[in-house]
Amino acid sequence: MAGNSALDRDETDAGRDTAESALTGTRLAFVGGGVMAELMIAGLLTQDLVAAQQIVASHPRQDRRQRLADRFGIEAVEANREAALGADLVFLTVKPQVLAAIMTQLHGRLEPSQVAVSVVAGASIATLSRGLGHAAIVRVMPNTPAQIGA
C-alpha cells in the first residue's frame, strides 16, 4: 500500500525536493546568455528547480536576449552589471576570451553575500577572485553534453 511518507518516494523525487527547497527564492543571474547559459537555464526550468521569474541573463545582442526571453520567459538585459544586481548566484557563462572585460565590468560590484559561479574554462579561482574583487567564487567545469536533468 502506497503512502505519502518520504520513504515512499523514489530517490529522484527526494533529490528534487532538496534542490527545490535550496533554490526557493534564490535569484540567478547568467552573465553571458550564450549556449552554455541556455542549456543551464533550460535544465533548471525543465526540472522545476526554479521559476522563470528567478532568472535574469545578459547578452550584448538584442536578438539573443529576445530568444532567451521568448523561449524561457526570463528577464534578459544588455548590461552585465544590471544582470548581477540583486542576484544571489551570478553565473559567469562567457567565453574565456571575453572574461577579462567581464571581470572589469563587475570588479567590486558584487555584494559579499553574492556567490560568483564560473563556468569559464581555464579560469582559476585566484584569477576570478582578483579580477572580480570578490571572495565568494565557485568554479565548475563546463560540459555542454551534461545538461541539467539529462
Q: Indicate the DSSP class of residue 91.
A: E
Sheet holding 115-118, edge to edge: 75-77, 55-58, 28-31, 89-92, 115-118, 137-139
H helices of the chain, in order, are 11-23, 35-46, 62-72, 80-84, 99-106, 125-132
- The reply to whether 36 falls in a domain is yes
Average pLDDT over the chain reads: 87
- The reply to whether 9 falls in a domain is no
- The reply to whether 17 falls in a domain is no
SS3 73: coil
Q: What is the pTM of this model?
A: 0.83
* Segment 78-88, tens digit of pLDDT: 999 999 999 99
Structural domains in the chain (count): 1
- The reply to whether 76 falls in a domain is yes
Q: What is the CATH number of the domain that holds 45?
A: 3.40.50.720
Low-confidence ranges of the chain (pLDDT < 50): 1-11, 18, 20
- The reply to whether 11 falls in a domain is no
Q: Indicate the DSSP class of residue 141.
A: -
